[in-house]
Structure 1
Amino acid sequence: MTLTQLSYIVAVDKYRHFATAAEKSYVTQPTLSMQIHKLEDELGITIFDRSKSPVIPTEIGEKVIEQAKTILKESKQLSDIANFKENELKGTFKVGIIPTVAPYLVPLFLRSFLKKYPQVYLIFEELLTQEVIEQLGNDQLDAGIIATPTDQSFIYTEDLFVEPFLGYLSHNHPLVEKEKLSVDDLDRTNIWLLNEGHCFRDQAVKLCKETTKKNNSSPIEFKSGNLETLKRLVEQNFGMTLLPWTAVQEFDSNCANAIVKEFEDPVPSRKLRLIFGRKHLKQTIIAAFKESICSSIPKALKTTDKRVLIE
């Protein structure tokens, strides 16, 4: 019995498909299937009912898989212990980060963190909020960065900063003449929003009194999971979108491609949070990671005056 074999049965249980599990485990399907057969032979049981589609665990297989998850989690903790020293930060640190934060926040602190802690190997993965929480629960991540509160009992939360929303308008948009936007403006404008599942979309919808479909008079329907795509649409003179402050690094209210508008007080904002599941072992890396982020953000984000959280 090996940890690799245990990871394979956990993968098949997760994806309920041998080919997909093999792909996600970076092995061929015959290799994965052979190793699972070996484990079943060693234990003298059948872990998966292969007659079903999708494949499902047998009754005894479910118990084996749960124990496998525990063993894999404990093996990771052994690695953490081996790499942990009070006076030295060392080891792999895997972070899940939502797509509306990753491209704007990570470049702000990455270079300084790596320079200060060269023995920490950072792995970032862009995930939706729910995926970050699930992977923390499965011990697949060491930490996550999200923009909504979570009430999961196994998750610890540290606040990072509060980030204002901005309006990003095409030059021919009717609101460009306003000095600042108000929340009431948003119920009568054309607003491009992200796909469902993105917390920034949910926050934007809370600001709007009507849905995008009802408001949007454009003959175009565009579903996107990327804020940069929505920005490009605005820059081609199609409506407007909402952006987090960090998405407009050097914002100029009269930039060449589009117009950036601030909101009147109280400014709608979101709170960025660092979340993690284990409070021991990698606590020193977590603390250093948070300190690096907070010391690297622009001064404008270090105040919460006259901001209202949209969560």
Structure 2
Amino acid sequence: MTLTQLSYIIAVDKYRHFATAAEKSYVTQPTLSMQIHKLEDELGVTIFDRSKSPVVPTEIGEKIIAQAKIILNESKQISDIANFKEDELQGKFKVGIIPTIAPYLVPLFIRSFIKKYPNVDLIFEELITSEVLEKLGNDQLDAGIIATPTEKSFIYTEDLYVEPFVGYLSHSHPLIEKEKLTINDLDRANIWLLSEGHCFRDQTVQLCKEIQDHKEPSVEFKSGNLETLKRLVEQNFGMTLLPWTAISEHKDSCSNAVIKEFEAPIPSRKVRLIYGRKHLKKTVIQAFKESITNSIPSELKDNDEKVLVE
């Protein structure tokens, strides 16, 4: 029995197709099938029912796959323990981060982190929340940064900061004369939204959910990028909501649109660091968290009068 064989049966269980599992495992299908047959012969059991399409595990196969996941996760901790010692951090550290946080947060702390920990290779991947959780569960990531709570039992959470929302308005918008916005000012039909799957879209919709008699917008634009929505507003079309970090650097210099803060209670989101391996908590996880919290602006450390939207 080898770790490679265990990884192959986990892949087949995930994709329920031998060819797809082989492709995702970067091997040929005959190689993957042969290794799984060897494992079945060694154990004297059939792990997969190949008569069904898609392929499914047998009853004993389900138990073997569950144990295989535990074994693989535990085996990866050996290299982690060796790489991330108490007195020195080194090796690769893979982080999944959602697109509405990545371009605004990463530049704040990355220079200080790599200067302090030059032997850690940071690898960032922009993903929506569901993808971060899936890859963390599959041990494809070491940590994630998201803005919604998670109820996954294997996930550990560290709060980083609470970030307020602001309105980003075109010069012709009806709310332009208001000094500050209120939650009651929001009209879902008059706000540019991110495409489905982005938690920031869900949070915006949640703020608008009690407003009645929505009109359908004359133009619909599905985007996964806040910067695209900002450009639309700057072309004198409507408004959007933005996290505070998306406008902090340009707050005083923006001339193509108008930034409006909210009156209390201020709609906000909590940004969280998540991970799935306990033993990293005292080393790289804490070093990573400290670099972030030490680098964020003071405005994000004040939680007074903020109401979380999750």
Give me the TM-score of the superposition, normalised by structure 2. Answer: 0.88
SS in 2 for 1:168: strand
CA gap of 1:32–1:151, structure 2 versus 1, over 3 A, is same
CA spacing shift, 1:32–1:308, aligned 2, 3 Å: same
For each residue in 1:242-288, what CA deviation from the matched residue of structure 2 results, as whole angstroms up to 9, or x when unmatched? 11111224233672432222112232111111122332245211111
The 8 Å contact of residues 48 and 58 in structure 2, kept in 1 or not, is answered as yes
Q: 1:2 to 1:132 in 2, by over 3 A?
A: same
| 1:187 and 1:209 in contact (8 A); partners too | no
Match of 1:76 in 2: 76
Residues 13 and 174 of structure 1: CA distance in aligned 2, closer, same or farther (over 3 Å): same
5+ long unaligned stretches in structure 2: none
The number of residue pairs the alignment matches comes to 310
Letter matched to residue 146 of structure 1 = I
For the residue of structure 2 that corresponds to 1:141, the secondary structure is coil
Give 1:168-247 correspondences, 5 Å limit. Answer: 168-187=168-187, 190-209=190-209, 215=214, 217-247=216-246
Task: Tell me the distance in 2 between the aligned counterparts of 1:238 and 1:23.
Answer: 45
Report the CA distance between 1:14 and its aligned residue.
1.2
Matching of residues 1-311 of structure 1 within 5 Å: 1-187=1-187, 190-209=190-209, 215=214, 217-252=216-251, 255-311=254-310
Contact 1:169 1:239 in 2 (8 A): yes
Determine if contact 1:252/1:259 at 8 Å carries over to the other structure.
no
Letter in 1 for 2:228: T
Q: Judging changes above 3 Å, is the alpha-carbon distance between structure 1 residues 239 and 65 closer, same or farther for their aligned structure 2 residues?
A: same
Letter in 1 for 2:128: L
Question: Cα offset for 1:205?
Answer: 1.5
Distance 2:45 2:188 in 1: 63
Q: Any stretches of 5+ residues in structure 1 without a counterpart?
A: none
Deviations 1:86-110 (A, max 9, x none): 2111233222222221222112211
Give the C-alpha shift of residue 294 in structure 1. Answer: 0.8
Alpha-carbon offset, residue 175 of structure 1: 1.5
CA–CA distance in 1 between the matches of 2:20 and 2:142?
A: 24
Equivalent position SS for 2:186: helix
Report if the CA contact (8 A) 2:84-2:284 is conserved.
Answer: no
**Distance in 1 of aligned mates of 2:199 and 2:268:** 13
Question: Do the aligned residues in 2 keep the contact of 1:191 with 1:216 (CA within 8 Å)?
Answer: no
Pair 1:5–1:117, CA change in 2 (3 A) = same
Alpha-carbon spacing, 1:184–1:14, altered in 2? closer, same or farther (3 Å) = same
Give the conservation status (yes or no) of the 8 Å contact 1:187–1:210. Answer: no
TM normalised by structure 1 equals 0.88
Contact kept, 8 Å, 2:97 with 2:132, in 1: the verdict is yes
Aligned partner of 2:97: which letter? I
Looking at structure 2, the residues matched to 188 and 114 of structure 1 have their Cα atoms a distance apart, in angstroms, of 41
Larger mean Cα displacement after TM superposition, 10-19 or 288-297:
10-19
| In structure 2, distance between residues paired with 1:252 and 1:128 | 27
CA offset digits 1:10-47 (Å, max 9, x no partner)? 11211222333233333344443343344334444432
The 3 A distance-change label for structure 1 pair 54 and 247 is: farther
- Give the Cα separation in 2 of the matches to 1:152 and 1:54: 27
**Distance in structure 1 (CA, Å) of the matches to 2:182 and 2:309:** 14
| Identity level (%) | 78
Whole-angstrom CA distance in 2 between matches of 1:227 and 1:281: 32
